[in-house]
Structure 1
Amino acid sequence: MPALPSARIRPASVLDAAALARVHQQGWRETYRDRVPETVYTERDHTLEGQWAARLADPGDTHTWIAERDGEAVGLASARATGPGQVRPLELTLLYVLAAEQGRRTGLHLLRLAVGDAPCFLWVVEDNDRAVAFYRRQGFELDGARREQAAHGLLPEVRMVR
């Protein structure tokens, strides 16, 4: 079977806010399905594009990439430098690849662009076994830290470090 061509990945700009919001929201729906109340999705439908526009207009130390295939956004990644006292100097804050794009190495390419092989950390929903396995293949390990974020519908998250 011939290899599939790679998705096009580039730095995101303010002009990508709507596309990033769509991928972010769809990625949540595909990943968390019935675990997050519909009210959370409904609220995010009304706020996520504006949040992305603001984040991209004033990114600070955060860098965001967008993956596109055939002109449509299919994935995103964001990473940021962290301050003193953090477990690593770099945090992967987001990595979402739409279900139809998974298995095409787009997530791996996004991860490599976002953090390379640098020491870093990320938070992942505790029982997202697919994501934990993906990150383990890239050298990340659970370090025992855990948190609950109201913004995530109170889904507990665990920290992975590399």
Structure 2
Amino acid sequence: MRTAREVQRWQVVPLAAEHIRSLAECHIACWREAYADLIPRHVLDAFDVDRRAEQLERRRLSHPDRTVVAVADGAVIGFGSGGPALDETTVTPREINALYVRAAWYSTGVAHDLMRAVLVPEVDTTLWVFEENPRARAFYAKFGFELDGARRVEAFSPSLEVRMVRRATESG
């Protein structure tokens, strides 16, 4: 099998129906790769590709144009989702709900391309990230996100999340 660096360059495209199954596989794989030390094993093992695909399709239909996927060799290798705030407790008009890249694609630029696709520099934006995920927190800081002191328990585990906020820039 070829490594990520040997595969053709990726493309970031809007999520379409033909990406759903591959996106579900990618999302579950990303959680298992990134959160093995944060999320209980039984929770990670319980994720089901078919059920996740159904959830993603419903979300795609109810919130079109919110999610983009990075595709290489016909497979989703990462994705990002952002748009108008859905969380009623948000402190900004926009939020980033997800940004994930398969571990084989770390440090290739995929995450940067996904962030550029979902971030609107002229609008204040929030996101939530695991407190014990320094790699992700450092990545978001490169884009101007800063901790604002808010914390919450993640929905699937006892892990804590922290909120990061990026204030709008006039020039983008």
Band the TM-score falls in, shorter-chain normalisation: 0.7 to 0.9
Gaps of 5+ in 2: 1-6, 167-172
Runs of 4+ with >3 A deviation: none
What is aligned with 1:35?
A: 38
1:26-84 CA-partner distances (Å, limit 9, x unpaired): 11011111432233223321521111111112216x60000011222110000120267
Q: How many residues align?
A: 157
Q: CA RMSD in A?
A: 2.0
Find 2:22's aligned residue among 19, 22, 44.
Answer: 19
For residues 83 and 120 of structure 2, the distance between their equivalents in structure 1, rounded to whole angstroms, comes to: 13
For residues 127 and 17 of structure 1, the distance between their equivalents in structure 2, rounded to whole angstroms, comes to: 29
- 1:89 correspondence with 2:99: no
For residues 92 and 155 of structure 2, the distance between their equivalents in structure 1, rounded to whole angstroms, comes to: 24
The structure with the greater share of residues assigned to helix is 1
For residues 133 and 37 of structure 1, the distance between their equivalents in structure 2, rounded to whole angstroms, comes to: 24
For residues 114 and 128 of structure 1, the distance between their equivalents in structure 2, rounded to whole angstroms, comes to: 21
For residues 68 and 44 of structure 1, the distance between their equivalents in structure 2, rounded to whole angstroms, comes to: 22
SS of residue matched to 1:9: strand
Gaps of 5+ in 1: none
**Identity within the alignment, %:** 36
Matched AA of 2:82: A
CA contact (8 A) 2:8 2:72 kept: no
Give me the TM-score of the superposition, normalised by structure 2. 0.83
What is aligned with 1:54?
A: 58
